[in-house]
Structure 1
Amino acid sequence: MADLRAQLLDAGIELVADQGVSGLTHDAVDARAGVAAGSTEVRFPTNRALVEGVTQRCIEREMEMASGPNGEIEASREGLASAFGAFAHRALGVDRATTLARYMLHAEAARTPALRAFYAVGADEVDTWALDLVRRAGSRHPERDYGIMANYVTGLVFHELALPTPGLDVAGRVRTLIDALGWRAA
């Protein structure tokens, strides 16, 4: 049942956000999700499978955060700036748990080679999608520009989790970055 899978993994995301990767156990997910004992272990038999499932669910949720409910972003400078702004707003607001969990899983991947390889596959999917969007939006150097923009927004969100800026305008900042990168009008 796909809904139960998402329910379990969303509970796992909340646990990682609240307690770190060490708090992600089968029993804790069952309790947080409000399901029968053993439900998580049936679907994710090992701790590694559970961590990988939560990692994949973070990627799924971040893709939806980036592309919005209709799954599309206008391939333009303004469309991209608006999308990054909306992403950051959600990452720091209603999807804060996903953001915190992703950063914790990212740190865990830095220490765990097997998770690093799994994490990289999901990151490659996101990068391929976003790189195409940056290219269509007018970048003359899409690989370079996407890397700069992604790292900028990732760092900005990381900073804002701990030290929020009142009235933060991420879209405006991304527009300024796009202008500094010298994109052509799309």
Structure 2
Amino acid sequence: MADRRTVLLDAAVEVVADQGLGGLTHDAVDAQAGIPIGSTAELFPTDQTLVEGVTQRCIEREMQMATGPHAEVEASPEGLASAFGAFADRALGEDRAVTLARYMLHAEAARTPSLRPFYAVGADEADTWALDLVRRAGSQHPERDVGIMANYVTGLVFHELALPTPDPDVAGRVRTLIDALGWRAA
């Protein structure tokens, strides 16, 4: 069973996905989690700490979406394409609430400078992990390619949330992108 912090933050992710950041209140999280009023405020006493907690939880869950049940992704063009495809499938399916919440938090970081450093720490963790993987998979320009691939998949997922297509074939599209970037076998 998940610890109390995780339960509360997962409920908060659902609140943000359903109601936007304007709906993120301590009482709304308590209601979503089905716990007594005031429980969320015990762990996250301010609005800022609650938003920071939701941001961190989205980052944690996105890392799980990227790796699936295993901590390793095959360091090859096919392995990366497959991982990005699986990530997008989850982002648009079972973890849609995480995706919606993340995009709302991303937009809020653009409006609220105090959130940027906190948001950037999680992004740096993911980028460090991805950079090593992309390098081992054969990229000759890993710093460039991580940004290109991440922005491509982020944009594709964003587009698919609003205007879904029957089969976005993210893995196939990412494999085409990797080929266009000129990777060599590692």
Inter-partner Cα distance in structure 2 for 1:168 and 1:102: 21
| Residue 34 in structure 1 maps to residue 52 in structure 2 | no
Counterpart in the other structure of 1:182: 182
- Give the letter for the 1:134 counterpart: V
Q: TM-score, normalised by structure 1?
A: 0.98
Counterpart in the other structure of 2:145: 145
Correspondence list, 1:9-88, <5 A: 9-88=9-88
Structure 1: runs of 5+ lacking an equivalent: none
Structure 1: which 4+ aligned runs deviate by more than 4 Å?
Answer: none
Inter-partner Cα distance in structure 2 for 1:20 and 1:52: 15
Inter-partner Cα distance in structure 1 for 2:136 and 2:123: 20
| Residue 133 in structure 1 maps to residue 133 in structure 2 | yes
C-alpha offsets along residues 125-146 of structure 1, whole Å, 9 cap, x if unaligned?
1111111110011000000011
| RMSD over aligned Cα atoms | 1.0
**SS of equivalent to 2:3:** helix
Inter-partner Cα distance in structure 2 for 1:116 and 1:6: 22
Aligned residue pairs: how many?
186
Counterpart in the other structure of 2:98: 98
Structure 2: runs of 5+ lacking an equivalent: none
Inter-partner Cα distance in structure 2 for 1:167 and 1:122: 30
Inter-partner Cα distance in structure 2 for 1:5 and 1:168: 35
- Give the letter for the 1:22 counterpart: G
Q: TM-score, normalised by structure 2?
A: 0.98
Inter-partner Cα distance in structure 1 for 2:167 and 2:107: 29
